[in-house]
Chains A and B, each alone.
Chain A
């Protein structure tokens, strides 16, 4: 090789001279958002592919998309509704409330499952897809967001079941049902934020996948998925009022109550946490922004073995 004027330059100097950029460096936040937007088709296709692949080996195939949540709700109805008497205190209370229990329960189970599954999928989204992360270039946030999107589509299937349940319990469509759209949009952003946070945690500590089911189960009981939270705490457990109010403000409880408010006749804004809409928006912005920035901060380190 003939001598060149570049001899004796260090790697960094040589790179600077010819305008080479560092491989695998983290892009700025705005650039990162732009790259992610550029991958929106991949995010959607990946989530749909995962959804299809999920039940493709089962004989009943995609029917399980709706059968699984319905069977879950049936189990809870048996245990909480019939055996433990959780039907008391469902708004608007009394006999009418009791009749509302099944729509109340099914809504709760579906909305809670949406967040629960998004978190669980988020934990494994990087650590379970290392092969993909180590083979191809794409903004890594695509993975957790794609998994949250998969859960959203799963929920849309469940909404068909919910519709049947509502109709068969004499809940007829009202204009309030349209609130479902903003609620799901908010919850999707909230879930994506959580998935991003847990994706980063899970990439560092794969043990999170073992721990999270317990945390999430605690959250399930603390949010009143299968019983009216506020009523049970105050009237059955004699808990102080402020505690019941506080627990009603947790994000999952807020989304669940808003959805019940939208769908079930007899629910009023008095039956759910005060300022529920503001709470939902605040939780969403908090989780979305914090999750995204927190995930992006480690972008260049995902895929390290």
Chain B
């Protein structure tokens, strides 16, 4: 029993006064002309012609082993950015993130190529996530069966651009969910494909959750947050507005959004 309490207090992710700033080139309102660009170049001072977007402003929290944490907030409140920063994919402007093991985002979309066959994308996606060739070979059939791509004929040997959007989304999820993770982050990946596939993917996420130390879930669906998470972080305009047990935070959030 004493061990369990200790175990529950082993931190897995520590965010310490985290700030994330995006820099966007060439977006000064109404000044797209060449002369305006020139004058920006020669103007004194740092960051000429660059607009800064302060997406996450001083967020601090500690997550512990075994927790499932939901991230909520309106569109553009910095949820996805925060996830990427925790995963170490977006460099912090200020502050630090410490993690136990390598947190990974559930998602492999960016590595896949529409012009390649589904088959090659399974291999490419697996390699991009850091799986070995042997691991991919061992899981290949499982991935294809899970996606259900071949249910309506031999589609896996066709280029992905010939897939319907639902089919492509199913294959992407199947590849992404093939790997086990220490700290798993899921960014609204639940609702892809048809009803049958949604059920299957929810079950797979529950499985992944069991294997992972800590799970972060970004979602606009309060029901799926309530089902999976025991703690919720509420972000608004890049600031941590509330951090606590799911019911408490969701009650406040629903009041805020006027539901």
- The judgment on whether A and B are partners is yes
Other than the given A22-B97, A24-B90, A136-B108, 6 more pairs (CB < 8 A) read: A12-B98, A18-B10, A42-B130, A45-B124, A134-B110, A136-B129
* A6-B102 contact in complex given A22-B97, A24-B89, C-beta closer than 8 Å: no
| Residue from B14, B25, B92 in contact with A20 in the complex, judged by beta carbons closer than 8 Å | B14
Interface-side segment among A50-58, A69-77, A243-251, A276-284: A50-58
CA distance A171 to B105 in the complex (A): 56
| Interface SS of chain B | mixed
The answer to whether A134 touches B98 (Cβ under 8 A) is no
Residues of the A chain whose Cβ atoms lie less than 8 Å from the Cβ of B111: 46, 132, 135-136
Residue of A nearest to B17 (CB): A11
Residues of A within 8 A of B62 (CB): 11, 14
Interface-side segment among B70-78, B113-121, B194-202, B220-228? B113-121
CA of A17 to CA of B24, assembled, Å: 38
Binds A, one of B80-88, B147-155, B163-171: B80-88
Pair A137/B89 contact, Cβ less than 8 Å: yes
Q: Which residues of A contact B10 (CB under 8 A)?
A: 18
In the complex, A174 has a CB within 8 A of chain B = no
Q: Which residues of B contact A18 (CB under 8 A)?
A: 10-11, 100
Cβ contacts under 8 Å, B43 to chain A: none
Interface of B with A (CB < 8 Å)?
A: 5, 9-17, 22-25, 53, 60, 62, 84-92, 96-100, 102-105, 107-111, 113-116, 120, 123-124, 127-130, 132-133, 159
A29 contacts partner chain B, Cβ-Cβ < 8 Å: no
Bound: A46/B120 CA distance, A = 10
Residue positions of A touching B, CB distance < 8 A: 2, 4, 6, 10-12, 14-15, 18-25, 39, 41-42, 45-46, 49-50, 52-53, 56-57, 129, 131-138, 206, 300-301, 303-305
Contact B11 A14 (CB under 8 A): yes
Contacts of A52 in B (CB 8 A): 115-116, 120
Determine the chain A residues whose CB is within 8 A of the CB of B88 once the complex forms.
23-25, 137
Contact assessment for B159 and A56 in the assembled complex, using a CB-CB cutoff below 8 Å? yes
The minimal Cβ–Cβ distance linking A239 to chain B, given in whole angstroms, is 36
Taken together as a complex, chains A and B put the C-alpha atoms of A12 and B120 apart, in Å, by 43
Specify which chain A residues have a CB less than 8 angstroms from the CB of B22 in the assembled complex: 304-305
For B90, list chain A residues within 8 Å (CB): 24, 134, 303-305
Decide: A24 and B124 in contact? CB cutoff 8 A.
Answer: no
